[in-house]
């Protein structure tokens, strides 16, 4: 009798665990997706001005990175110092890519065409950590049509 009760508990728990793993494999880390969504909302609703990046990020981060087109996941992991399933690589030029890191974890991973995500980043140094400080990194934010442009200043 105890075995059937144990199965009654373990089988649903196993199914939930497998379902969560499939979700993460297909859609990505829910925490990263949540942060990406909120970052996008902040960027798209921001007024045209000079902004400090942490004003647009409603989550904690230590460093942000961007990489040249076609940089492999392995190269990105080597640069940031650890592997993560949330690392994405651009598949063509013109894509926007940002990778936010907090305490050796990816907390934001944006990779997409400006027409799909609604914004683009320009001027950031590639494959180099830019650290979160109260007054940097700074961007000039402006809108052209349906796209918000973030131009790196310092």
Residue 69 belongs to some domain of the structure: yes
Residue 106 belongs to some domain of the structure: yes
Q: Please, how many CA atoms are within 13 Å of residue 146, restricted to the half-sphere of its CB?
A: 6
Residue 48 belongs to some domain of the structure: yes
Residue 17 belongs to some domain of the structure: no
Q: What is the pLDDT of residue 85?
A: 87
Residue 109 belongs to some domain of the structure: yes
pTM value is 0.84
pLDDT in tens, 104-142: 999 999 999 999 999 999 999 999 999 999 889 999 999
Alpha carbon distance 154, 145 (integer Å): 25
Q: What is the pLDDT of residue 90?
A: 87
Domain count, the chain: 1
Cβ atoms of residues 85 and 109 within 8 Å: no
Domain that holds residue 114: 30-152
Residue 10 belongs to some domain of the structure: no
Residue 4 belongs to some domain of the structure: no
Q: What is the pLDDT of residue 15?
A: 64
The residue-averaged pLDDT of 69-87 equals 94
Residue 41 belongs to some domain of the structure: yes
DSSP state of 81: T
pLDDT in tens, 4-53: 777 777 777 766 666 655 655 555 688 899 999 999 999 999 988 999 99
Alpha carbon distance 119, 146 (integer Å): 8
């Amino acid at each position: 009798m105890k075995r059937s009760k144990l199965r009654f508990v373990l089988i649903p728990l196993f199914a939930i665990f497998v379902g969560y793993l499939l979700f993460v494999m297909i859609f990505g880390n829910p925490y990263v997706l949540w942060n990406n969504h909120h970052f996008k909302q902040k960027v798209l609703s921001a007024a045209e001005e000079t902004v400090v990046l942490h004003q647009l990020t409603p989550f904690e981060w230590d460093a942000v990175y961007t990489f040249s087109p076609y940089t492999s996941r392995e190269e990105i992991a080597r640069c940031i110092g650890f592997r993560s399933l949330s690392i994405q690589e651009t598949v063509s030029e013109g894509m926007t890519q940002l990778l936010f890191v907090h305490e050796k974890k990816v907390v934001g991973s944006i990779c997409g065409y400006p027409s799909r995500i609604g914004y683009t980043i320009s001027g950031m140094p590639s494959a180099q950590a830019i650290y979160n400080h109260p007054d940097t990194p700074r961007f000039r934010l402006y809108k052209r049509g349906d796209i918000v442009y973030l131009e790196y200043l310092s």
